Amino acid sequence: MKISLLVPLLVLPLVGGALAGGSQAGGIQVTTETRLAGWLQKYPEADANGDGMLTVGEARAFRAKMLAEPGVDQADRSARTKPTHANVVYGSHERNRFDVWIPDESTDGLLSPVVIYFHGGGFVAGDKTSFDPTPYLDAGIACVSANYRFVNGHDLLSDAPFRDAARVVQTVRKRCSEWNLDPGRVALSGGSAGAVMALWTGLHDDLANPDSDDPVSQESTRVTCVVPVNGPTNLLPDWILENIGGAAHVHASFAMMFGQTIEEALTPAVRARIMAVSPWEHVSEDDPPVFLIYSGPLDEVPLPASARTGKVIHHPFFGKALKEKLDAAGVEADFKHGFNPRGRTDIVDYLKNKFAMVD
C-alpha cells in the first residue's frame, strides 16, 4: 500500500474540528463519523475490533502500522509513479481533475491502450493518488486516475460522480491523438464506489451526444471492458437487505447520495434516482466484457444484522448476481471472489488479453 494513501486517513476525518463537529449540506450533517465511514469502506482492515465502526484512534493506529511497513521506499515509489500529465482539467469543479501516465511505448509513436481508474471512498472521500500505475505501465498500458465530485446530500447528489466518470472517458478519448493512446482500447476499473462508477459507465448506453456544440460531449463512452473491484452492483436498499442482509441502514453515505435517510420510506423520486445509478439496471446484450473481483468470501447470505457495513456493501453476492444477469443477456462475464488482486497480475493479464496485446 502506498504511504501517500494513508495521509488522508489521518487528516480527513479531523476536518472541521472536534469529533462532534461537521458541516451542513442541505440540512444533512456532514460529520466526522460520515468521513470515517467512508474510510472504513476503503480500508476495512483498519477496523481493529471488527465492530463495523472506525474510530479516529483506529485510523491513527492503522496509519502508523502502514508507515512502519518494511521495504516501503516512498521516495523511490513517488519517482516511479509521477504522472506524465498531472491534474488534467475535465470540468469546472475543483475535483474535475485526473492524472495521466503514458508508457514508454507511446513516446515512440505507438498507440497504447489505456485503463481509467476511479477511487473508492463512499462517494464522500478518497483521491486519485491512491492509484498505483506501475504494473500497468510495465505491461505497456497507459493509465488515468480521476477525481470526481463528492455527493453532499443537497446540490450534488448521486448523479454527479457518475456523470463525471462519463466525462472522464470522453475527455480521454478526445485527447488520445495528443497522448498517442488508442481510442479503441479503453478499459475502466475502480474500487468500491469507484467500481460502481466504472460498471455504470461501462454498462450504460453510449452517452455521446453527436449534436452537441461541445466536441468532448460528442465522444463515445463505450469501452473495451470493465474490471470493478469490491463493487456493489445494485444500490436499492431493499434488494440489498433481502439478498445480502446486514443492517437496514445499508451505508452511511446513503443520505448524502440520495438526499433522504434510509429510515424514511423511499419516495418514488429517490427510488428512481437509486435505480438510475445502479449498474444492475443498465445491463443489455451489447455490453462489454466484465471481470468482477471481490476480496471477501462468498459466504452464506443473508448476513446477520450485526454484519459490518464494509462486509455487506462489498459482498461477493453482488458480483454473483450480476454475473448471472450478464450471462442471461449473453454478455461475457468473469467472477472471482475470496481473492485480493493487490500484488498480482490477474487484472493486468485480463486487460492484455482484451486489448489483444502481444508479449
The dihedrals phi and psi of 251, each to the nearest 5 degrees, come to -160, 145
Q: Indicate whether 105 pLDDT > 90.
A: no
3-state SS track over 46-72:
HCCCCCCCCCHHHHHHHHHHHHCCCCC
Average pLDDT over residues 60-89: 65
Question: What digits encode the pLDDT tens for the residues 208-219?
Answer: 999 999 999 999
Q: Tell me: the pLDDT tens digits for 176-233?
A: 999 999 999 999 999 999 999 999 999 999 999 999 999 999 999 999 999 999 999 9
Query: Would you place residue 342 in the very low, low, confident or very high pLDDT band (cuts 50, 70, 90)?
Result: confident
- What is the dihedral angle through the alpha carbons of 312, 315, 317, 322, rounded to the nearest 10 degrees? 110
CB-based contact 6:63 (threshold 8 Å): yes
pLDDT at 293 over 90: yes
Residue 352 clears pLDDT 70, i.e. is over it = yes
Mean pLDDT value across the chain: 84
Inter-residue contact 291 to 336 (CB < 8 Å): yes
Q: What is the pLDDT of residue 138?
A: 93
Identify which of 152, 170, 153, 232 has the alpha carbon closest to the alpha carbon of residue 200. Answer: 232
Give me the pLDDT at residue 201, please.
98
Does the pLDDT of residue 74 top 90, yes or no? Answer: no
pLDDT of residue 19: 27
Query: Looking at the predicted structure, is the pLDDT value of residue 247 above 90?
Result: no
CB 24 within 8 A of CB 74: no
CA distance 187 to 290: 10
Greatest Cα pair distance in the chain: 58
**Alpha-carbon gap, residue 175 to 186, rounded angstroms:** 13
Q: What local confidence, expressed as pLDDT, does residue 42 receive?
A: 57
Maximum mean pLDDT: which of 20-34, 66-80, 263-277: 263-277
More confident residue, 156 or 40: 156
Whole-number pLDDT of residue 11: 36
pTM of the predicted structure, to 2 decimals: 0.80
- Concatenate the DSSP letters of all residues of 173-210 into one string: HHTHHHHTEEEEEEEEEEETHHHHHHHHHHHSPP---T
Question: What percentage of residues in the chain have a pLDDT greater than 90?
Answer: 66
To the nearest whole percent, how much of the chain has pLDDT over 70? Answer: 77
Which residue matches cell numbers 450533517? 29
> Residue 48 pLDDT more than 80?
no
Pairwise CA distance, residues 103 & 181, whole Å = 10
pLDDT band at 264 (very low <50, low <70, confident <90, very high): confident
Band of residue 156 on the pLDDT scale cut at 50, 70, 90: very high
End-to-end CA distance of the chain: 28
Lowest-pLDDT range of 65-69, 135-139, 269-273: 65-69
**Which pLDDT band, with edges at 50, 70 and 90, does 72 fall under?**
very low
Q: Read off the C-alpha cell for 78.
A: 513517488
User: ∠ CA(62), CA(64), CA(65), 5° rounding?
Assistant: 65
Give me the phi and psi of 61, to 5 degrees please. Answer: -65, -40
pLDDT digits (tens, 9 = 90+) for 18-39: 223 333 333 333 345 555 665 6
Residue 8 has pLDDT above 50, yes or no: no
Tell which residue, 240, 156, 170, 174, has the closest CA to residue 204: 170
Helix boundaries (H) for the chain: 3-11, 32-42, 56-67, 74-80, 104-107, 134-138, 159-174, 176-179, 193-203, 237-243, 254-258, 268-276, 309-313, 317-328, 346-354
For position 265, what pLDDT does the model report? 81
Question: What is the pLDDT, as a whole number, of residue 272?
Answer: 95
